Structure 1
Amino acid sequence: MKKKISFSGKGNRADIGDIAIHRILPNRYANAVGPFVFLDHMGPQMLTKKMKAGTGAHPHRGIATLTYILSGEGEHYDSAGNHAKVRSGGIQWMKAGSGIIHDETANPDSQTANPYLHGFQFWINLPSKIKTEKPEYMDIQAAKVPLKQLPDDSGWLKVIVGSYEDLKSGIPNYSEQFLYHIHLEPDKRVSVSFTEKTEVAAFLPAQNAKINDAEYLAGEFVEFDRNEGEIEIKNTSKDVLDILLFGGEHYDEPIVAMGPFVMNTEHEISQAYNDFYKGKYGTINYKNKS
């Protein structure tokens, strides 16, 4: 049985500097899908030397940030001393935990000189028992992202978060969660099954697609019911199709979000701001900045 569509819609513009951003989650219908409480879609756009293509240093607490770069290069710095560059197809994951300051900059891919930026940033809500643990950071280049070829030369599926059949992502799991990138060839289809109570949404970054027999447009966010069932994706165009599927088990603790912090109570939000203003999150050392 195919899962029913709960709703669909497009995000709102939330540009950062010269980077074109569409904020997909939260939206007027949903504050979270499983543990995912935030999704920004970056680009696609061409980068130039004159562009301001960075977030600037800013804090987080209570979440893990995950940046997935389809095209371009992301450079990361944080106040725990981490510095890395992730190129096209790579992932950056940072557990903010008790508090951290980070700065992310977008650049053309240094290996291919591809000037286009296209990517996503998710926020993954952490369970209350680990919201104040020590921060952590991990980067995974494209070659180490688990990938499975789909039957009938239909395309491939990458596991960015969670697991799929015999594949498992290197990103830590603190609850049942998944993020899949499906790449589907023209005139092909794929079906993915989900168990009862699993929260799941799809996002179409650049192409239209037929999902469970209904047509959806590029830029649309589609959320499904929580019954057991399948999501069938058909690529009816002459171009390849990319689509994200993400979600997981319901986050059953209170969610209080304000600015860059996601906690469980308003008091914890207040404490997060107080600790930040007191300098408890540290500072970033940019001595290796390129």
Structure 2
Amino acid sequence: MKKQTSFSTKGQRADIGDLTINRLLANRYTDAVGPFVFLDHIVPKFHSSSISSGTGGHPHRGIATLSYIIDGEDEHFDSAGNYAKVYSGGIQWMKAGNGIIHDETLNVDSRTGTNRTHAFQFWINLPAKNKAEKPEYLAIQSEDVPGKSLSNDSGWIKVIAGDYEELHSKIPNYSEQFLYHIHLEADRNFSISINENVEVAAFLPSNNTTLNDIEFQAGEFIEFDRIAGEITIENKLQVATDIILFGGEPYTEPIIAEGPFVMNNLTEIGDAYSDFYSGKYGQIVQKR
């Protein structure tokens, strides 16, 4: 049985510097898909030169941030002393836990010389028991992201988070979660089975694509019902297309989000701000 669509929507602009950004989650229909409570799409864009666009140093608590860089070079600093650059195809993952300050800057990829940037940032909500843990950090380069070819030369799948068949992401799972990048060649299709009571959404970053016999437009965010069933993705175009598919088990604890903090009640939000302003998150000492 094919899963039914719950809703579809397009994002709202949230540009930063030279980057064009569409904010897709949270939206007017839902605050979360599984553990995912935030999604920004940094739209594909060519630049005439180096850009160094970023948010500047800012705090987080109660979540893990995940930046997936399709094209570009992402530089990360944080108040726990972590530093790394990841390049096209790489991932920056940071568990904010009980509080951290970080700064990410997206630039063109200095290794390849291409001037295109394209990326996603997700926030993954932590269970209440993990929100008080110490921060952690991982930088994963493209060659360490698990992936494989699909059958019948249909394309490929990369596992950014979670598992798919024999593929396992290095990113920790605090609840059931999955985040896939699926690349589908022209006039090909791919089907995936989703279990009962699993929340799942798709995003189409580049082209119109048919999902369970309904054609959706490029830039659309589509959520499906929680009944067990299949999602069949069809690329009826004469060019390849990409799909971001993600979700997991429902987050059953209260979700209170304010600014850069996602906690379980307003008292915890107040504590998050108080601890930040009192300097308990530390500071980014030196940029390299």
Deviation of 1:47 after TM superposition, in Å, equals: 3.1
CA contact (8 A) 2:51 2:108 kept: no
Deviation of 1:270 after TM superposition, in Å, equals: 0.3
Q: 1:3 is paired with a residue of what secondary structure?
A: coil
CA contact (8 A) 2:24 2:221 kept: yes
Deviations 1:225-254 (A, max 9, x none): 000000000001111111010000000000
CA contact (8 A) 2:52 2:107 kept: no
Deviations 1:76-115 (A, max 9, x none): 0000001100000000000000100000001111110111
2:13 aligns with: 13
CA contact (8 A) 1:71 1:118 kept: yes
Deviations 1:183-242 (A, max 9, x none): 000000000100100000000011110000000001000000000000000001111111
Deviation of 1:285 after TM superposition, in Å, equals: 2.1
**1:137 alignment partner AA:** Y
Deviation of 1:48 after TM superposition, in Å, equals: 4.4
**2:179 alignment partner AA:** L
2:62 aligns with: 62
Question: How far, CA to CA, are the matches of 2:187 and 2:285 in structure 1?
Answer: 50
**1:281 alignment partner AA:** Y
Question: How far, CA to CA, are the matches of 2:287 and 2:165 in structure 1?
Answer: 43
Check if 1:206 corresponds to 2:206.
yes
Q: 2:119 is paired with a residue of what secondary structure?
A: strand
2:222 aligns with: 222
CA contact (8 A) 1:89 1:141 kept: yes
**1:14 alignment partner AA:** A
User: TM-score, length-normalised on structure 2?
Assistant: 0.98
1:175 aligns with: 175
Check if 1:250 corresponds to 2:250.
yes
Q: Runs of 5+ in structure 1 lacking a partner?
A: none
Identity over aligned pairs, percent: 65
Question: How far, CA to CA, are the matches of 2:130 and 2:225 in structure 1?
Answer: 29
Question: How far, CA to CA, are the matches of 1:149 and 1:114 in structure 2?
Answer: 25
Q: 1:152 is paired with a residue of what secondary structure?
A: helix
**1:47 alignment partner AA:** H
User: TM-score, length-normalised on structure 1?
Assistant: 0.98
Map 1:135-150 to 2 at 5 A: 135-150=135-150
1:158 aligns with: 158
Question: How far, CA to CA, are the matches of 2:283 and 2:149 in structure 1?
Answer: 43
1:196 aligns with: 196
Corresponding residue pairs, total: 288
CA contact (8 A) 1:47 1:107 kept: no
Q: 2:246 is paired with a residue of what secondary structure?
A: strand
Q: 2:273 is paired with a residue of what secondary structure?
A: helix
Deviation of 1:121 after TM superposition, in Å, equals: 0.1
**2:190 alignment partner AA:** V
**2:3 alignment partner AA:** K
Question: How far, CA to CA, are the matches of 1:50 and 1:165 in structure 2?
Answer: 39
Q: 1:275 is paired with a residue of what secondary structure?
A: helix
Question: How far, CA to CA, are the matches of 2:278 and 2:49 in structure 1?
Answer: 35
Map 1:51-90 to 2 at 5 A: 51=51, 53-90=53-90
Rate the CA distance shift 1:74–1:50 in 2: closer, same or farther, 3 A.
Answer: closer
